Structure 1
Amino acid sequence: MVQAAVPPIVEAIVAQAPPGWTRAVLSSAASTGGVSVAGGYSVRGGSRLSGHVPAPFSELMRLAEALREMRGWRRTSLEIACLPSGQYELVAFADTVTSLRGRAGGFQVVLDPGYELPQPGMTAQEEGTAAPAGDPDLAVARFRAYMERGAAILGRPQPLTPPASAAALEEAERRIGRPLPADLRALYEIANGDDVRRGNLRPFGNAAWLGLESVTAVHEDIREPMPPGWELGWDRVVFDADPPDTVRRCGGHPAWLPFATGEDGNFLAVDMSPARYGRPGQVIRVGRDHDDGPAYLADSVTSLLGHYLDLLERGEYEQDEYEDGIFLPDPDDRPGHGKIVGELPRDIPPGIQAMHINDAASPVDLTPLTAAHRLRRLHLNRCATGDLAPIRSLPVESLRVTLAGGDLTPLEGHPHLTALDLGAAAPVDLAPLRSVPNLRSLDVSRADVHDLTVLTDLPDLRYLALTTRQWHVLLEQGKAPVTLAAARLADDTAALDEALAWASCLGVDTRDSVHVTGVHTV
């Protein structure tokens, strides 16, 4: 029962309370897969929570299971507040409303769980029309030469797995929904992936070559973009590969066919639906470390094999004593990122796509950024600018900025901006945002906004973050945007029951929330 599951958690909170504490709050998101814990203690004379509450995982799992039996919630958001007197209160609800304590802060509500922010590579990028660059005969010749050269280096022959049958290849292509590129297919007619015994040579550098069964299984997992949670993804940017416009800017695609794994959640894949300047069958890197966009490696499997063969021939490898194999340097495949601490330099790399300017003297002159023709994310942290004009001509999609004077006029009609996190001490007019055609996400919780009702004129707004006071003004006037898929209550001091009242005003039925009170006695 829920009532019986709460006291052991309260006991753990009280047992670790610091001297002079006046209140403790534990926030948790719990499910059968685990729990997350955040929170802290208020102490006499302090206005904010500090320190860390304990994380009694077993007891929280039992509480989550009791709530699941009671309400049927697969994931639960819960908050336990207790006082030195022993009084405590549990508030719990489905994770439609989630505490962001320890992350962005405040609370998040998901109003449309089926909505996903669009990714530019799925629809907005032009399809490539070039012919494949791969050559099956050359790929086979390079494969054999690579294996022979590797065997000579290691001083022993390199065994191959049996070839994939014609029936197995046809079945894999049927399950994938498209044919393999001819050069990769030719390799599977030689061997069906790596011989995985220790010390054996891998034909694709340090990545393990997947057998066809694994190819189809991994393809099923990565064929669709995996959207991050709203607390991480509302201002997400998918970066372009290098060279630009070769690979689609998305987190996953049905035409990306994995064929090798780094055994770390990352994969080499052949891309059968390239962007404008790409070629079908080009090799890209996707997976766990590429949520912000795929990376381009080579125009074909044939070329990639040539690259690795060339490294062996030039002696640019290391023998791995532990694995008794060969280690090859991986190409630098990450898009341009930059972090500036202090003053913005006059010379900006033109290919840079992300820039974080931290702790610079304010106001920051953004003029040097006009050279960064590929800049898609610009975040100013703990510093401010008085002029957004340099951003007008840049393809910035995610902008975090604090205004020290100036206004939003330079953003009028900006064709690329999709997410804006705005801070401003002086009242700021949001009216210029009416003409920003792709603005979908907005956080003005750090700004003094002249007229919040302008928000109702943003027809594609899907995410909005405001303070408690700002939400109150907007909701009191009945002007909350009806297009929202998610929203944030940006208030670190708000309690879960206050967040539930806010979510109810946005249309969420919170009547089945759970409230349990009691007194803990030592």
Structure 2
Amino acid sequence: MVERAARRIVEEIVASAPAGWTRAILTSTAGRGGVSVSGGYTVPGTPLWRSPVPSSFTELGELAEALRKVRGWERTSLEIECKPSGEYGLVATTDAITSLRGWDGGFQAVLDAGYRLPQPGGEHEGGTTAPEGDPELAVARFREYLRRRAAILGRPEQLPPPASAAALEEAERRIGRPLPADLRALYMIADGDGIGYEQRYLFGRHAWLALENMVAIHTDQREPVWYGWELAWKSVVFDPDPPGTVRRCGGHPAWLPFATGEDGNYLAVDLSPARNGRPGQVICIGRDYDDGPAHVADSVTSLLGHYLELLEQGAHEEHGDHISLLEPARGFGPSRIIGEIPDEIPPTLQAIHINDAVGPVDLTPLIAGPNLRLLHLNRCATADLAPIRTLPVESLRVTLDGGDLTPLEGHRDLTSLDLGTTGPVDIAPLRTVPNLRSLDLSRADVRDVTVLADLPDLRYLSLTARQWTVLLDEGKAPLTLAAARLADDDAPLDEALAWSARLGLDTRDALRTTGTLESDGG
């Protein structure tokens, strides 16, 4: 069954091959969650990416299903190599080892599937200010809001009946926290704004959720979404505006979604704000807020007051039976610069990507950005990291053209470092970086890679095959690693299996099969 499914893929690879090809490699991670495909044909004088292999999604899904039945793997990482002669080989294993072609290249091994990088908001000092919401005022504003909407539409809008006291208590029990008093009071007027499939979109462009749906979405959204080490190892959660109001997390049990944009984004009430926030404040979370939540209002009561102001100003449009409020543009998301360092650094700057600069980049002007958390130099270099010493940079991608890592000694904010060098570098200063958990040295010429054994809490490490060989031969791989990357883009899966076995993964269950189309009757 496996051989038959593999053969169909090879037949398509051979049938689609360009003239003059000498080899084809297809890599895939496949299973019930979907199929990814990368790889290409080797054609002399042509880059691999110009001759991609066919995306055999259906056939790869069938192969993954055959492997699930044979091996019990829910998701499979596999590699197929074939030649013009029709000879082919398949190597397959569980998705604890995955190809990163299409990302940074090479392979990734997950050593501790349950580990998640800590998020800075989990350690934030909580706010001590009293809630701003007022249930009586919220009810008054809500009724006035409905009255004004009815005047615009020429009729009152039909809403569901109120939520019962028992339903509210049950919802709070399942959530594990009481609702803010002002939001709770609104549910005693109506249980959301939808009847059947018709929504009134009372909260701006968001549909107000019924209690039952709010509980279900809270259950799904209460923890940060884990997108895998490919993204997580150097990700940053940024501070909202105003600063220090919302915890810097991708999700939190005290965020209760109460209205949906029906696009994966939500309005939520925050019951565990950061030091400058208020319990019950309204925030935006969801699909478009991977960089961190956005602060909207200090309470549902205040948000309703804002909606009344918009109606008073005539800032609305009618669309049939619906009213759309015309919200002013909000500065959601971190202050970010892409391209080059500007002449004037905004004090709100949190992220900068410097691209393709000519000559060593002088980072000194960035000192004017005291809130800078992400600094990535892409396809360019710097000779001096001294300006970073006083900046709260958490994610740093840099190529050193001379200079050293001394300015990073004792840096308390740095959590991820992607380092390239134009010459040998001593990484000993990294021993003193207490929160450094993710490190990529595959672009660096490291004098003594065994220093890595002394890093206190390293969880992700990316090295070349040569660097890994030195580290493993010396028995100096950090014991705290949860994930690792073999950075060589041309490494075959068999080499990645041998490497991950040295890191402690059990790869004995890997499946290998070979064949030739002609000898199989092709």
User: What is the aligned-residue RMSD (CA, Å)?
Assistant: 1.5
Structure 2 residue aligned with 1:481: 478
Superposed CA offset, 1:70-113 (max 9, x none): 11111100010100111000000000100011112110000011
- Corresponding position of 1:346: 343
1:302 aligns with 2:301: yes
- Which secondary structure state, in structure 2, belongs to the residue aligned with residue 502 of structure 1? helix
Distance 2:197 2:218 in 1: 26
Q: Which residue of 1 aligns with 2:236?
A: 237
- Cα distance change on mapping 1:465 and 1:200 into 2, 3 Å: closer
Q: State whether residues 150 and 201 of structure 1, in contact with CA within 8 Å, keep that contact through their aligned partners in structure 2.
A: no
Aligned-partner Cα distance in 2 for 1:330–1:257: 24
The equivalent residue for 1:73 is 73
TM norm structure 1: 0.97
Alignment partners' CA distance in 1, 2:106 and 2:41: 16
Given that residues 335 and 352 in structure 1 are in contact (C-alpha distance below 8 angstroms), is that contact kept between their aligned partners in structure 2?
Answer: no
Residue aligning to 2:314: 315
Q: Residue 157 of structure 1 aligns with which residue? A: 156
Match of 2:32 in 1: 32
* SS at structure 1 position matched to 2:136: helix
1:273 and 1:315 mapped to 2: Cα distance? 35
CA distance in 2: counterparts of 1:132 and 1:49, whole angstroms:
56
SS of the counterpart of 2:273? coil
- Give the aligned partner of residue 265 of structure 1: 264
Decide whether aligned partners of structure 1 residues 441 and 447 sit closer, same or farther in structure 2, where only a CA change above 3 A counts: same
State the aligned residue count: 519
Is the contact made by 1:219 and 1:258 (CA closer than 8 Å) also made in structure 2?
yes
Matched, 1:444 2:432: no
Query: Does residue 494 of the first structure (1) align with residue 521 of the second (2)?
Result: no
What SS does structure 2 have at the residue aligned with 1:183?
Answer: helix
Q: CA deviation at 1:333?
A: 4.7
Look up the match of 2:423: 426
Q: Deviations over 1:303-331 (max 9, x none)?
A: 0111111111111223335x743243265
The answer to whether the Cα contact below 8 Å between 1:206 and 1:328 also exists between their aligned partners in 2 is no
Q: Distance in 2 between matches of 1:382 and 1:196?
A: 54
Q: C-alpha separation between the residues in 2 aligned to 1:232 and 1:330?
A: 32
Inter-partner Cα distance in structure 1 for 2:210 and 2:58 = 40
The whole-number CA distance in structure 2 between the counterparts of 1:376 and 1:146 is: 41
Aligned counterpart, 2:12: 12
Task: Check 1:96–1:200 CA distance in 2 against 1; reply closer, same or farther (3 A cut).
Answer: closer
SS of the equivalent of 2:22 reads strand
Match of 1:457 among 454, 457, 460: 454
Partner of 1:337: 335
The aligned counterpart of 2:408 is 411
| Structure 1: gaps (5+ residues) | none
Letter of the 2:344 counterpart: D
Q: Which runs of 5+ in 2 are unaligned?
A: none
What's the offset of the Cα at 1:336? 2.3
CA distance in 2, matches of 1:510, 1:47: 32
Map 1:358-373 → 2, pairs under 5 A: 358-373=355-370
* 8 Å CA contact 2:239, 2:334 repeated in 1: no
| In 2, Cα distance between equivalents of 1:306 and 1:331 | 18
1:470 equivalent to 2:467? Answer yes
Deviations 1:176-205 (A, max 9, x none): 111100000010010000035788643211
Determine the C-alpha separation between the residues in 2 that align with 1:195 and 1:335. 30
State the alpha-carbon separation in 1 of the partners of residues 200 and 148 from structure 2: 10
Is residue 226 from structure 1 mapped to residue 220 from structure 2 by the alignment? no
- In structure 2, distance between residues paired with 1:138 and 1:413: 51
SS in 1 for 2:495: helix
Provide the rounded CA distance (Å) in 2 between the counterparts of 1:179 and 1:98. 43
Aligned AA (1:128): G
Q: Take 1:299 and 1:372, find their aligned partners in 2: how far apart are those partners? A: 27
2:149–2:323 CA contact under 8 A, matched in 1:
no
The answer to whether the Cα contact below 8 Å between 1:344 and 1:360 also exists between their aligned partners in 2 is no
Q: Which moved more, 1:74-83 or 1:284-293?
A: 284-293
Structure 1, 254-263 or 220-229: larger mean CA deviation: 220-229
Deviation at 1:145, TM superposition (A): 1.3
Match of 2:108 in 1: 108
SS in 2 for 1:108: strand
Question: Which structure 2 residues correspond to residues 52-131 of structure 1 after superposition, within 5 A?
Answer: 52-122=52-122, 124-131=123-130
Residue number among 318, 324, 327 corresponding to 1:326 in the alignment: 324
